Amino acid sequence: MEKSASNGVATAVPAPWNFAPNETLLGLTALLVRAVLARVKAGMDCRTRGAAARRGTSRLGEANKQSTGSAACAPPPRTEGRVHAAQRQPNLVDLDDMCLLCCDVRLHAWAAWGACASSGPFVESWWRDAFRVCQCIPGIPCVSATAPTPLAFGLEPAQRSIAQYLSRDLPYTLSPDDVYLTSRCAQAIEIICSVLARPGANILVPRPGYLFYEAHAVFSVMEARYFDLLPEKDWEVDIDGVQALADKNTVAMVIVNPGNPCGNVYTYEHLAKVADTARKLVIFVIADEVYAHLTFGERKFVPMGVFGAVAPVFTLGSISKKWVVPGWRLGWIVTNDPNGVFQMTKWAASRDLDISSDPPTFVQGAIPNLLDYTKEEFFQKTIKIIKESADICWEQLKGINAITCPSKPEGSMFVMVKLDISCLSDIKDDMDFCCRLAKEELVVVLPGCAVGYKDWLRITFAIDPSSLEDGLHRLKSFCLRYKKPTK
Ligand SMILES: Cc1ncc(COP(=O)(O)O)c(C=O)c1O
């Protein structure tokens, strides 16, 4: 037994502790976007990054998260051979960020919410989010500081309002009971995976995709099987592939529409095929629609719930993207099941498991106002900004050697581009490419391995046009610098 002094300081070599990290979890976390980006950014000159962040240089907000400059800074490394752009121009351009949408902040009637959010370290970001949308809502959300603790599914007015909002695009009407409130869409994914997991079960997920599904599936001891999205067909689901993958233990398939990471928007006809396939396989569809209505091309958003009578659908969503308030932490799971399949199979009961925490009460209280009164102009403005950036991105990518973009993004805030490693000297793979790009050009791009697609890149274009152009310009110089000499 280990001895320790009475003042709590250990005096002997400690015996092995009884606890150890969960290896499965460690392996999975290393694959996720945050961990991969940390590796990409690790080689960057932190002093330059800190200075750039302090000056408020062009950063687009990594997937709605607030950017921070690095504090502890070593002097910039001396580089031999190539002159690094980091030394010429110390501005960071984060092409995996979304800060463009976070800049329109105006103080308005939201002071009334002060009573609900008066202290704590996260208040600042909460207020930032609140102010961003405040201009869109005439009137103050009627939230009482003594609002009741919600039931497992949420406060009824919030559920009702989400049911009404989503029913606008459906051929049937959802009831408040179809709506289960969660803390962001991320928690919706977590809950769905925990509830679905049973020994031997498997779930079909898209590749490239949002690996959060795989992480939660595997952590819930459920197998994740990948079906392909087809780049040459605007990232449609490979329906034959889905059928080949499924077996009697397959419980559901996931689609993300509009898509992260591909920027795809599915047509009515394609979604109908997905529904027919799910019916044939007697599985249900999990439709991640967290980017619903964020479309800017020819194709309009069609919710998967439209096909709920063909195969039951769980729609996952949140207010993080369309209303641009990720800090409010509110999402939902909605059952689109007009034929009552979930009831018949008693599956609905498992949803009732009260194993998760509820979203904040005062945010639930604000939902009816947010959904009913946010001005259309707010959404139009968001779409206009994203569309402009998507157009710039599409045009500029065409002129970069070693990179091809198979299809123009029509929704969400992302585009996938293919990297031709064979045209570049000294670059091993997508991860190596991104690490060097970050180090040498201070441009952050997500390597495809973080979305299950090696030797591709995901570019987030929801940043201000001048930073985007600057970032793409540096990407171009980088690719030219590494271009293999032609024989
Ligand atoms: C496809 C997809 N689903 C879910 C989420 C999580 O959304 P939220 O921020 O509401 O948790 C994200 C966030 O980036 C996403 O891209």
Q: Which of 207, 211, 260, 325 to mutate to test ligand 1, by most ligand atoms within 8 A of the CB atom?
A: 260
**CA gap 105, 86 in Å, rounded:** 31
State whether the beta carbon of 320 lies less than 6 angstroms from ligand 1: yes
Q: Which of 60, 205, 320, 356 to mutate to test ligand 1, by most ligand atoms within 8 A of the CB atom?
A: 320
Q: Does the domain spanning 23-97+379-481 belong to CATH 3.30.110.60?
A: no
Q: Does the domain spanning 109-374 belong to CATH 3.40.640.10?
A: yes
Q: What tokens appear for 422 in the block?
A: 């064979």
The residue type found at 332 is: W
pLDDT surpasses 70 at 51: no
pLDDT band at 347 (very low <50, low <70, confident <90, very high): low
State whether the beta carbon of 63 lies less than 6 angstroms from ligand 1: yes
b/e per residue, 392-409, with b = 16+ CB within 10 A? bbbebbeebebbebbbbb
CATH 3.40.640.10 in the chain, residue ranges = 109-374
CA–CA distances in Å: residue 61 to residues 97, 98, 326, 392: 4, 4, 11, 18
**Phi and psi for 480 in degrees, rounded to 5?**
-65, -40
State whether the beta carbon of 274 lies less than 6 angstroms from ligand 1: no
* pLDDT confidence of residue 30: 77
Residue 27 Cα, ligand 1 centroid: separation in angstroms? Answer: 21
Contacts for 146 with CB less than 8 Å, ≥ 6 apart: none
Mean per-residue pLDDT, 30-39: 82
Least confident of 86-90, 310-314, 423-427: 86-90
End-to-end CA gap in the chain: 69
**Phi and psi for 177 in degrees, rounded to 5?**
-70, -15
Residue 290 Cα, ligand 1 centroid: separation in angstroms? Answer: 6
Residue 186 Cα, ligand 1 centroid: separation in angstroms? Answer: 6
**CA gap 242, 10 in Å, rounded:** 56
* pLDDT confidence of residue 344: 74
* pLDDT confidence of residue 446: 96
* pLDDT confidence of residue 317: 98
State whether the beta carbon of 255 lies less than 6 angstroms from ligand 1: no
CA–CA distances in Å: residue 220 to residues 53, 91, 322, 348, 350: 38, 42, 29, 19, 15
| Closest residue by Cα to residue 129 from 297, 321, 327, 272 | 327
CATH 3.90.1150.10 in the chain, residue ranges = 23-97+379-481
pLDDT surpasses 80 at 407: yes
State whether the beta carbon of 402 lies less than 6 angstroms from ligand 1: no
Helices then strands, each counted (H, E), the chain: 16, 14
Residue 319 Cα, ligand 1 centroid: separation in angstroms? Answer: 10
**CA gap 417, 422 in Å, rounded:** 15
3-class state of residue 286 by DSSP: strand
Beta bridge partners of 316: 288, 333
